[in-house]
A and B are shown apart, each in its own frame.
Chain A
Amino acid sequence: MILVENLRKTFKVREKTGGKTGFSLKRKTRKVHALDGVSFSINKGELVGYIGPNGAGKSTTVKILSGILVPDSGTCVVDGLVPWKKRIAHVRKIGVVFGQRTQLFWDLPVIDTFDLLGEIYRLDKMEYKRTKDRLIAAFGIEKLLPVPVRQLSLGQRMKCELACSLVHEPSILFLDEPTIGLDAVSKLTVRDLIRKTNRESGTTVILTTHDLDDIEALCPRILIIQEGRILFDGAIENLRRKISGERRLIIDLKDSKDRITDSFVTVIEQNGPRVHLSFDPAKIHPADLIKRIIENHPVMDIFVENPPIEEIIARFYATL
């Protein structure tokens, strides 16, 4: 459904060297390889997280896939079309949300943008009405419709942005940092809506984000890009295993003076009675380890957990 092969895109960055006037006869340009041979393929109905540090090439990829940018070389076929060659036919089938931008008419009520998009995509009147009603109900934005966009909160606006990008029932949805700047509750709502769209309408979703909770909550598969190259493609679990097989054990001891010493664990930290341990499940089965600890120490409570995804990714970036 989406096939990307060896995409390359270079930008020229003008470098201005200080100076009092900012005027210089020598104009230096530096080439930045935003994409340096990116390849991947995504099947219909997948929900893929696309992550990487700032400037890694995420947005460039999304812009190429959505037909806005033309790559220097490489191929890319989305649903049988090359985006930049058949831009108009291509964009009819995709929905795009750029979290840092807005597609809504700032001074007009949300419903006006909705209706305008219905016209722009030349939707059948009945069909448009059905989709609109469905989206309004699913997104719970009925009350926001008559409000001028400038008066919406960011969270409300993002719900409307998402709904608007789905008016023409696209088969692929590109979300570029859709949760950026949102509060915790709005984030959860937006995540829910993304999941719903993916499951109920079978929409393929490509999500770029820096919020790794988004990724963990939503994406069975992730792509990690760094300096224009794809460095990892697979499930988060695989990444976790690849980076470290490590597991975490949190133990609340009865006696805060108690110290755990065991050859299979390393103590990460101890705050009063709460001890954070790490261990390798390949060397000792979690159940055996817990049994050993309970036998030797009076314990109030135990939790097993995976190292947080932030840590995994940070460690992954660090290994590069």
Chain B
Amino acid sequence: MRPYKALLLVKVKSLFQYRTAAVAGFFTQTFFGIIRLMILISFFGATRQSIPLSLAQTVNYIWLGQILFTILPFRIDPEIATMIRNGNVAYELVRPLNLFAYWYVKAVALRSIPIVLRAVPMIIMAAFLLPLLGRPDWALQPPPTLAAGIGMGFSLIFAILVSAGITVFASLLLLLFISQDGVVSFLYVLVWGLTGILVPLPFFPDVLKNMFYFLPFRGVMDVPCQIYSGSIHGTSIIYEIGLQAFWVVFLVITGTLLAKALTKRVTAQGG
């Protein structure tokens, strides 16, 4: 475990350097948070059908989603993408490490540290500043129950692990395709549509909702958001976290196998 621990620390250290990105991210995610809220709130006013989430739940779901934005596996680790493109990946293969584990550790840092950088200002803004600005109805509220809070905490850890798994999977595919454009635009569609960042998943029709259970993507964001907002409660919290854990195991095992297969046929580019 020693190398992986050290690697995590180094990666954390280098990710903490992206402070300007965090500031920019804070403004972007606040802006889009408010837009998403306004759209959904107007939807609440316009429909007469029964709505799967209450207004307060929706507000919490959206703000938590905005706070967790960087958990989403939108991008392949830019460091790894560059390495694969120019062939520096050769250095990754001359280390006495399991390639999947090596990249997984990096991905865990990539998916968690930016959240840490953004969370505090986002929470201050969404929970304390908005009520002061006269929109208490838009503000992030504490979870309805203690169980929801604790459940969200655990679920968030698994969400990071699922997202890291997807990230590494995409990086491995890059070994085949070399250029990241195709892989990334595919990821984009999946992530926007299936994690709940665009429209909270409870708002989807039942057919699609059932389908989402067969994909790892809702484990990245929807599950912690629903637990926090209270729309997943009681024993379902444990069931849902268990499902996330299943996806972590699934992604780690298939990813390891894929990494093994691909390293047998990898070609380092250029010279």
Contact = CB atoms under 8 A, between A and B. Distances in A.
Interface of A: 11, 59, 63, 66-70, 84, 87-89, 91-92, 94, 96, 98, 100-103, 105, 107-108, 112, 115-116, 119-122, 177
Interface of B: 2-3, 5-7, 10, 13-14, 17, 86-88, 90-91, 93-98, 263-268, 270-271
Nearest to B270: A100
A300 B176 CA distance: 67
Given A63-B268, A116-B7, A122 B2 contact: yes
B97 A116 contact: no
A96 B91 contact: yes
Contacts of A121: 3, 96
B100 to A, nearest CB: 13
6 contacts: A68-B94, A69-B268, A70-B265, A91-B96, A98-B88, A100-B271
Nearest to B90: A68
Nearest to B88: A101
Contacts of B17: 107
Contacts of A105: 10, 14
Nearest to A9: B267
B93 A87 contact: yes
Given A88-B98, A98-B91, A120 B271 contact: no
Contacts of B96: 88-89, 91-92, 120-122
Given A96-B94, A101-B86, A122 B264 contact: no
Given A105-B10, A116-B10, A67 B3 contact: no
Given A107-B14, A112-B10, A119 B3 contact: yes
Contacts of A120: 3, 6-7, 95-97
Nearest to B11: A105
A68 B93 contact: yes
A94 B94 contact: yes
A63 B98 CA distance: 18
A234 B88 CA distance: 32
B207 to A, nearest CB: 37
| Nearest 6 pairs of A and B residues by beta carbon | A119-B6, A120-B3, A92-B96, A103-B91, A101-B88, A68-B93
B29 to A, nearest CB: 24
Nearest to A68: B93
Given A92-B96, A98-B90, A108 B270 contact: no
Contacts of B13: 108, 112
A70 B264 contact: yes
Given A101-B88, A107-B14, A112-B13, A67 B93 contact: yes
A177 B13 CA distance: 31
A59 B268 CA distance: 10
A32 to B, nearest CB: 12
Contact of B94 (A59, A91, A119): A91
Interface centre among B13, B95, B263 (most CB of A within 10 A): B95
A84 B94 CA distance: 11
A108 B93 CA distance: 21
B271 A59 contact: yes
A116 B266 contact: no
A92 B95 CA distance: 7
B91 A101 contact: yes
Contacts of A94: 94
Nearest to A177: B271
A91 to B, nearest CB: 5
A116 B91 CA distance: 14
Contacts of A66: 94
B266 A68 contact: yes
Contacts of A116: 6-7, 10
B270 to A, nearest CB: 7
Interface centre among B10, B13, B271 (most CB of A within 10 A): B271
A306 to B, nearest CB: 31
Contacts of B97: 88, 120
